[in-house]
């Protein structure tokens, strides 16, 4: 990798006045043909390109992005990484991703600032504690870490939680996944982009896919705003716009696009060192390294491609925050934004061949795609390179909707759909 | 806060409404001849259009379903009409 990042490089450049840093990736002109083309330059697409090169030795790869790297949901999410799902298939998938995240900074030679500060999901009643115990048991049986906490243990982890007798959603106990955490979302996109570029992948920004080249019933490339690019295989990693891409390819998907919004407060001194989710309010939050309270909640109730949130959900999310942490009522709201998420009826992703031969899907991550970037990329690369499912991605094939074998993670998704 | 116009109640707050489905979707019949794939597609698949869309919505407060034409990018509503008399 040209210009490997290290403490020594930082020292050397400090002495040189930082004149020796080079761009982290090239901006090449599109070639007329690649072995593989990935549509979508977010985390999933860039990770797929990187793993095609690293795991399968396929380096003649282009990532085609209509905007800029990580400008979609990769740069809009609240960066939580966890594997506290219920079904074995889901834990296998998300824990695989979590394990890849644990070694990612070293693998990419790029600090993605993965901070394993734990995720705390609060239970508000004895009945919810029974469900929490069931979830913890399921997670432990599925081989990931989970603990059941009582009220005192929850309040020890988040002392500012609402302890008033009049609390609408009292703290009764909760579940804890200590290996979960947050990472710097831009760094994940940039780290994969830099590492993929170093292995020979072409990253084509400002290059919009306008159609697919179909020959003999097979996808043979993409039509783009910068010309036709032929490909041996094409991967689709376009999140909220997957239905738009699918229509161009001649099929539809079990996806509905919604806006999911998030907000940050002004920065304050450290006061919260875990990620907290309240099922009662649907609001979740953590404190960023800069000190801002980063928080969000459920999706907007109106199907939308608008990339902006509607006021009713914003109000619900802020109300939820103040129910959980009354002290945060003093904070000013700094920014609010939204991304377009691809929601699937069973709140589980779609990974596998599409109805068009030669075109592979990595979509349907809904509100939780960031945590799955390494796994999604790894599995899409496996599909493109071998034409076959990886054992982890097999249950998430599109065929589950005809078979009725849904993996309903409506609760595991953690966000109201 | 956006206002949607219920054909029966007039303009009301968006929080009173629930999205139902895309308009024009018909249950495949007869049931005995519907393949698992066709049934799965009827239940779960969607056009999910970007831009102009025709949708079925429910006004929760009066309990009536109706058709709404709106844009999924600008959120502008161009028409709402009752389903009775060929609302599909």
Domain boundaries, chain B: 3-82
Which residues 128-147 of chain A have a CB within 8 Å of chain B? none
Angle formed by the axes of helices A185-198 and A373-386, nearest 10°: 30
Residues of B with CB under 8 A from a CB of A: 1-2, 13-15, 17-19, 35-37, 39-41, 43-51, 53, 55, 72-75
pLDDT digits (tens, 9 = 90+) for A110-160: 999 999 999 999 999 999 999 999 999 999 999 999 999 999 999 999 999
pLDDT for residue B66 is more than 80: yes
Q: Do A243 and B50 touch (CB under 8 A)?
A: yes
Q: Are A96 and A391 in contact (CB under 8 A)?
A: no
pLDDT > 90: what percent of chain A?
A: 97
Shared domain check, A175 and A31: no
pLDDT for residue A264 is more than 90: yes
Q: Are B77 and B5 in contact (CB under 8 A)?
A: yes
Q: How many CA atoms lie within 13 A of A336 on its CB side?
A: 16
Q: How far is CA A357 from the centre of its chain?
A: 26
Nearest to A345 among B14, B44, B48 (CB): B44
Asked if residue A414 is part of any domain, the answer here is: no
pLDDT for residue A416 is more than 70: no
The CATH number of residue A318's host domain is: 3.30.9.10
- For A271-297, what is the mean pLDDT? 96
**CB contacts, 8 Å: B72 with chain A:** 257, 303-306
* Whole-angstrom distance, CA of residue A106 vs CA of residue A109: 5
Within 10 angstroms of residue A196's Cβ, the number of other Cβ atoms is 29
Q: Do A304 and B50 touch (CB under 8 A)?
A: no
pLDDT band per the 50, 70, 90 thresholds, residue A410: confident
Instruction: Report the domain count for chain A.
Output: 2
> Which pLDDT score is estimated for A417?
63
Find which of A238, A242, A256, A397 to mutate to test the B interface (most B CBs within 10 Å of its CB): A256
Write out the H or E segment, with its range, that includes residue A267: strand A256-267
pLDDT digits (tens, 9 = 90+) for A355-365: 999 999 999 99
Q: Considering the domain B3-82 in this protein, what is its CATH number? A: 3.30.2270.10
Q: Are A365 and A349 in contact (CB under 8 A)?
A: yes
Shared domain check, A307 and A204: no
pLDDT digits (tens, 9 = 90+) for B3-31: 999 999 999 999 999 999 999 989 999 99
The distance of A167 to chain B (nearest Cα, Å) reads 25
What pairing do the DSSP bridges indicate for beta strands A227-236 and A359-363? parallel
DSSP-assigned letter for residue A395: G
Taking one residue from A and the other from B, the number of pairs with CB-CB distance under 8 angstroms is: 79
> Which pLDDT score is estimated for A411?
77
What is the interface pTM, i.e. ipTM, of the complex? 0.94
> Which pLDDT score is estimated for B88?
42
Q: Do A403 and B46 touch (CB under 8 A)?
A: no
SS3 A26: coil
pLDDT digits (tens, 9 = 90+) for A190-244: 999 999 999 999 999 999 999 999 999 999 999 999 999 999 999 999 999 999 9
SS3 B19: strand
* Full domain range(s) for residue A297: 119-179+256-343
Shared domain check, A193 and A294: no
> Which pLDDT score is estimated for B64?
95
pLDDT for residue B87 is more than 60: no
The distance of A311 to chain B (nearest Cα, Å) reads 6
Asked if residue A5 is part of any domain, the answer here is: no
């Amino acid at each position: 990798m040209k210009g490997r990042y290290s403490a020594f490089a930082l020292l050397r450049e400090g002495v040189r006045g930082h004149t020796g840093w080079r761009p982290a990736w090239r901006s090449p002109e599109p070639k007329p043909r690649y072995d593989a083309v990935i549509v979508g330059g977010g985390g999933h697409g860039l990770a797929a390109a990187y793993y095609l090169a690293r795991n399968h030795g396929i380096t003649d790869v282009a990532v085609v992005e209509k905007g800029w790297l990580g400008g979609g949901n990769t740069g809009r999410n609240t960066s939580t990484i966890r594997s506290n799902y219920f079904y074995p298939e889901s834990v296998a998938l998300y824990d695989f991703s979590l394990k890849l995240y644990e070694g990612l900074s070293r693998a990419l030679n790029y600090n993605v600032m993965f901070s394993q500060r734990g995720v705390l999901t609060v239970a508000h009643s004895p009945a919810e504690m029974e469900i929490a115990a069931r979830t913890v048991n399921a997670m432990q049986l599925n081989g990931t870490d989970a603990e059941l906490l009582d009220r005192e243990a929850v309040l020890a982890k988040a002392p500012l939680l609402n302890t008033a007798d009049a609390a609408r959603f009292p703290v009764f106990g909760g579940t804890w996944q200590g290996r979960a955490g947050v990472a710097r979302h831009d760094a994940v996109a940039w780290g994969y982009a830099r590492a993929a570029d170093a292995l020979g992948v072409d990253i084509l920004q400002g290059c919009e896919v306008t159609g697919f080249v179909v020959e003999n019933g097979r996808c043979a490339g993409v039509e783009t705003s910068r010309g036709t690019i032929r490909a041996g295989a094409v991967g689709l990693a376009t999140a909220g716009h997957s239905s738009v891409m699918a229509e161009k390819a001649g099929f539809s998907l079990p996806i509905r696009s919604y806006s999911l919004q998030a907000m940050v407060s002004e920065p304050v001194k450290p006061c919260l060192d875990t990620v907290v989710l309240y099922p009662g309010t649907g609001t979740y939050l953590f404190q960023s390294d800069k000190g801002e309270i980063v928080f969000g909640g459920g999706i907007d109730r109106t199907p939308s491609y608008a990339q902006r949130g509607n006021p009713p959900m914003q109000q619900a999310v802020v109300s939820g925050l103040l129910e959980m942490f009354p002290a945060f009522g003093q904070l000013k709201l700094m920014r609010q934004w939204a991304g377009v998420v691809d929601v699937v009826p069973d709140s589980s992703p779609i990974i596998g061949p599409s109805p068009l031969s030669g075109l592979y899907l990595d979509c349907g991550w809904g509100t939780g795609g960031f945590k799955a970037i390494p796994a999604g990329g790894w599995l899409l690369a496996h599909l493109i390179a071998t034409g076959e499912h990886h054992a982890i991605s097999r249950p998430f094939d599109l065929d589950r909707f005809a078979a009725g074998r849904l993996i309903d993670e409506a609760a595991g998704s953690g966000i109201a759909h | 806060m956006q206002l949607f116009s219920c054909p029966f109640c007039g303009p009301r707050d968006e929080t009173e409404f629930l999205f139902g489905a895309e308009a024009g979707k018909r249950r495949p019949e007869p049931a005995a001849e519907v393949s698992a794939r066709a049934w799965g597609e009827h239940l779960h698949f969607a056009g999910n259009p970007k831009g102009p869309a025709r949708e079925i919505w429910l006004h929760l407060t009066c309990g009536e379903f109706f058709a709404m034409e709106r844009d999924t990018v600008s959120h502008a509503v161009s028409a709402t009409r009752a389903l009775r008399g060929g609302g599909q």
